[in-house]
Amino acid sequence: MLDEVVALPASLILERSGEAAVLMLNRPEKRNALDDATIVAIGEFFARPPSWARAVVLAAVGPHFSAGLDLGELTERDAVDGFFHSRMWHEAFARIESGTLPVIAVLTGAVVGGGLELAAAAHLRVAEESAFFALPEGQRGLFVGGGASVRVPRLVGAHRMTDMMLTGRVLTADEGAVAGLVNYRVANGEGLAKALELATSIAGNSAITNYAVIHALPRIVQAAPETGLLLESLMAAVAQSSQEAKERMNAFLNGHGRKVGE
């Protein structure tokens, strides 16, 4: 069942767990530093995820989620090459954020630089106690290039990202959770199980609801309020009219549906 997906480089591993595709960064000896081949392959995977998948768990082999950009590849690049390199990251991560499936990242150890940019493109973040967050670009004479300046302030506010970049501040898992980087903070070793539990629950939603949350909600948030409310009404009407919504509401009224919290 796994052979229908795009070919993956050795730096990525795909496993199946029920209806969840588990995509793992697999370069632990380099702390899952992200080289160009891995970025391109991540983009291709999310452009054409396996047909059986209803959600994706994005995790990592080894104690660190990702040390960010592979600094070994940061050789002499002129401004034009640098621009297109950054755009390549944007394209790949847009396919995560605006792809067809909800994506849950499991964060451990270093979630830094481009690793944090990758995590920020996921829809939910589960962080183990070991996770720490930083944007060391400021210390390396760089600037973020993988979408952090758009996605990280959305999660934590521009003021916190400014602090992380100007001072090199490292946030612990708990600080990341308070700041808004983390949806679920779990003990070490429990991240994957928590993410799979969430993926199973999400896979049980109707496809139109998941689509609305991933695609309509971010656009509504960015729209002018009146436009946002109009989009909300349109999306609500489409979801409500689906056969699945009718079946689910009838099931609840007949005592078969899940109660809130179940």
Q: Footprint of ligand 1HE on this chain (CB under 6 A)?
A: 30-31, 33, 64, 67-72, 86, 89, 110, 112-114, 136-137, 140, 142, 144-146
From the candidates 76, 117, 226, 262, which is the catalytic residue? 117
If DSSP codes are grouped into helix, strand and coil, which group holds residue 144?
coil
Shortest distance, CB of residue 145 to ligand 1HE, whole angstroms? 4
39/101 with CB nearer ligand 1HE: 39
Shortest distance, CB of residue 67 to ligand 1HE, whole angstroms? 3
142/203 with CB nearer ligand 1HE: 142
Q: Give strand ranges (E) for the chain.
A: 12-17, 20-25, 55-60, 103-107, 110-112, 124-128, 132-134, 171-172, 184-186
50/145 with CB nearer ligand 1HE: 145
Shortest distance, CB of residue 129 to ligand 1HE, whole angstroms? 16
137 labelled catalytic: yes
Q: For residue 246, what are its two tokens?
A: 């009718």
37/208 with CB nearer ligand 1HE: 37
Helices (H), the chain: 36-47, 79-97, 114-121, 137-140, 148-156, 158-167, 173-179, 191-203, 207-211, 217-222, 225-240, 243-253
Shortest distance, CB of residue 187 to ligand 1HE, whole angstroms? 21
Supply the residues annotated as catalytic.
117, 137
